[in-house]
Structure formats: structure tokens, C-alpha cells
Amino acid sequence: MKQKRMFKKCIALMIVSLVMLTFLTSCKDSKDAVFTNKQYGDSGMKTISNSNFDHANGIVFNKLGFGFTLPQAMKDLSDSGNFSYVGSQYSIFFMYLSERISETENSNASEEEEMEALRNGIFQCFAILRIPAKDEDAEMELERINSLFPHVDPITTFGEDTYYFAYNDDYSKSSPTDADKSNIEKLLSASESLKNSICLFPAEIEKLSSDVNMNSFSTKTLSGDDFTQDNLAEYDLTMVNVWTTWCGPCVNEMPDLQKLYEMLPANVNMITICADANEESELAMEIMDELGCTFQTLYPNEQLEQSLLKEVTGYPTTIFFDRNGNIVGDPELGVPGRNPAENYLKMIEERLGDAGDEKGGTGK
């Protein structure tokens, strides 16, 4: 697999579209003096330090329950290609990208030299995260953050969610050049400004429109086969996992999806849709081949975009459909816990009873 290409995709910005909601008020947590907004709004929000949130320049992630404003030093390094951030289901990671990455890319370096530059050229600077209570996936994310950052400081607990700001002030292991050291020091000196710019609000619960369906479509699989709604009609229930090549958790769960696929009862099928397969078909096929995945993966054509994919705002997202292409139960956002195959199987068993009385699976 071309890890370099995957890395490039992984540092792409994940900006969640703002949604229209009502005006909000803010409240003060008297215990720790951290301000939390009672609801999201497109004006009037306060930061945790009780200053006005910069709506013109701020970045808001409704599904995560927080927003922030990049200090000027971070904006400058972002413009030069040395600073970026990437989102996951619970957090936003901020990273410094050494100039040696672009220098190696523009040279005649070997693949081994390129990968070495990638490994040593990334410095995880900061992270902002929201950890819901009693959420196994979130607990795993917090464990990961603690393994990456020496400082993981709670901001506040709001409802059942605890928010954290993590930072790393030891960049020696990344073998920085003098220019890198100067740039990283600028970032670290702006960390308090970044933290104080954070605004908190209740995370938007992931819901799909009732119009989401796979009633009528015709597309191709990565292997070139036709796939239509008629293929869904062969099973009582079809699990559809939507992923992208740049999504690390998506790729990491592929072996578990294959394990699940081999465990499915005869009247249930599992397929995936690679949301960026039209642009990254070669990479998508490399991922599937290298990880030994034998289930069918679909190209996202215009029909699927209109009936399904336009509603998907995070990856991976897993949705269940009956034989008529109607959605069954709630979608699953993210990788479900430490045993994905077993947890997906439980979801399937729960939804089979709601998938209608018609029977008749033919198996895989």
C-alpha cells in the first residue's frame, strides 16, 4: 500500500458544514470558571474564557461539540504548508509538518527514505477532544490521546461530556532542523491562545434524514461488476459501511469487516461504499487487496450521492437496509468498540427483526 499517499489524504482538512440552529445563551461554570454555551448558534457564542467567539474566523464542528480560532502563528504556518489539523469522531489533531517532508518528496529519494521522512517529520502539537460518558469508543480515543501527548488537561465536564485540551512540548524525538525548532516554538507559544479560543456547546446528535434510502440505483464495484438495488433484494438485511481512503479508523477496521463478512448468516449481506473511490480508485483497491477484503465495495455515483451519501458527515458510518433499500434502525458513526465484528453482528441481530416479514436470502 502506498502509505505516503494515504498520509497525504489523512492530513486533509475535515471542515464540518455549519447548520442553521437557534440563538444561544451562555452560562458560567462557577466551579472552574469555564464558559459553556447552552446550544450552538451562528452568533453570540462565548469561548471558555468568556470572550466573544470569532464567528468570522472561527472553525466550528457541530458533531464534536466545539469550535476554535487559529492564532496568527498557526495561520501563517498553515498557509506555508507546515501546519494542519485533521478530525476524528471525537477529536481534532493539530500537527506540525517538517519541511523535510516536501524536500524529500521533490527529490529522487527512495520509498524507504520517503517513509523515514514522514515518520520523523510529523510533530503532534495539540488536540481538542470531547469524551462522552459510558462510550467505549470514546474511552479508546482518550487512551490513544494519552499515549500521544504528555499533557492531557480536562477543560470541563458539560452534561455527560468531558472536554480536554492536549499538548506536546517535547519535539526532540522528531529530529527537528533549526527551522523546524523555530516554527514549533512559535506554535507552542500560541497554545494558550488556541486553548482560550475554544467554544463549547452540546454536540449535535448524528441523525440521518428519513429520505435516506437505496431504493433505486445502479453503480459499479471496484472490481468492475454491476451492483443495483436488485442485489439488496436478495437479502433480508444489508449492512452498508461508508468509508474513505484518508480515514485511518476506516482502514484499520477493514480486517474486522472481513471477519464479520465471513460470520454473516445466509440472509444478510455486507458491502461498503468508498466515498472517494472516484478520485482514489487505485488506492482503494490497494487497501482492499492488501488487507484481504473479499466483500464488494461500490463506487459512489450521483444516485447514491443524492439518496444516501449527502447525509453522511463522518467516517466510517454504517447503515442498515432492508431488501427494498429502506433504512433499518439508527446509523452507527465510527468504529464500534474494541470488538467491531462482534458488535456489528449484535446490531445485525437486533435489526433483522425490524427488516420486514419477507424472507429469502441466498447467501454470499
Average pLDDT, integer, range 194-204: 94
Q: What is the chain's mean pLDDT, rounded? A: 83
Confidence of residue 171 (pLDDT cuts 50, 70, 90): confident
Contact 321/348 with Cβ under 8 angstroms? no
Average pLDDT, integer, range 153-173: 93
Residue 111 lies in a domain: yes
The pLDDT value given to residue 14:
33
Residue 207 lies in a domain: no
Instruction: Report CA 317 to chain centroid distance, whole Å.
Output: 9
Average pLDDT, integer, range 183-207: 92
For every residue of 242-297, DSSP letters joined together read EE-TT-HHHHHTHHHHHHHHTT--TTEEEEEEETTTTT-HHHHHHHHHHTT--S-E
Last residue of a domain, one of 171, 200, 229: 200
Same structural domain, 160 and 248: no
The region of weakest confidence among 118-127, 148-157, 309-318 is 118-127
pLDDT at residue 80 tops 50? yes
- Of 161, 146, 135, the closest CA to residue 64 belongs to 161
Same structural domain, 254 and 118: no
Confidence of residue 331 (pLDDT cuts 50, 70, 90): confident
For residue 66, the surrounding DSSP H or E stretch is: strand 66-68
The pLDDT value given to residue 108:
63
Same structural domain, 191 and 240: no
> Rounded CA gap, 117 and 94, in Å?
19
The pLDDT value given to residue 112:
57
Same structural domain, 184 and 39: yes
Residue 362 lies in a domain: no
The pLDDT value given to residue 323:
94
Helix residue ranges, H only, 165-239 = 178-189, 191-196, 229-232
Residue 208 lies in a domain: no
For every residue of 204-223, DSSP letters joined together read PPP---TT-B-SS-EEEBTT
Give the tens place of pLDDT for each residue, 96-117. 988 766 555 555 655 555 555 4
Contact 239/273 with Cβ under 8 angstroms? no
Give the tens place of pLDDT for each residue, 16-47. 222 222 223 334 433 457 999 999 999 999 99
> Rounded CA gap, 2 and 12, in Å?
16
Residue 336 lies in a domain: yes
Most confident of 96-105, 286-295, 299-308: 286-295
DSSP class of residue 108 equals T
Give the tens place of pLDDT for each residue, 7-16. 444 433 332 2
CATH number of the CATH domain containing 343: 3.40.30.10
Residue 210 lies in a domain: no
Residue 359 lies in a domain: no
Residue 296 lies in a domain: yes
Same structural domain, 28 and 159: yes
The pLDDT value given to residue 104:
54
Q: Is 64 helix (H, G, I), strand (E, B) or coil?
A: coil
The region of weakest confidence among 95-109, 211-225, 321-335 is 95-109
Give the tens place of pLDDT for each residue, 342-360. 999 999 999 998 775 444 4
Average pLDDT, integer, range 322-334: 89
- The answer to whether the predicted template modeling score (pTM) of the entire model surpasses 0.75 is no
Same structural domain, 160 and 11: yes
Confidence of residue 134 (pLDDT cuts 50, 70, 90): confident
Residue 241 belongs to domain spanning:
218-352
The pLDDT value given to residue 278:
92
Give the tens place of pLDDT for each residue, 245-270. 888 788 889 999 999 999 999 999 99
Question: 245: number of CA atoms within 13 Å, CB side?
Answer: 24
Same structural domain, 15 and 143: yes
Same structural domain, 171 and 96: yes
> Rounded CA gap, 125 and 180, in Å?
13
Q: How many domains does the chain have?
A: 2
Same structural domain, 49 and 183: yes
Contact 127/88 with Cβ under 8 angstroms? no
Average pLDDT, integer, range 301-308: 89
Same structural domain, 127 and 231: no
Q: Angle between the 340-352 and 254-261 helix axes, to the nearest 10 degrees?
A: 50
Same structural domain, 135 and 261: no
Read off the amino acid at residue 29.
D
Same structural domain, 256 and 163: no
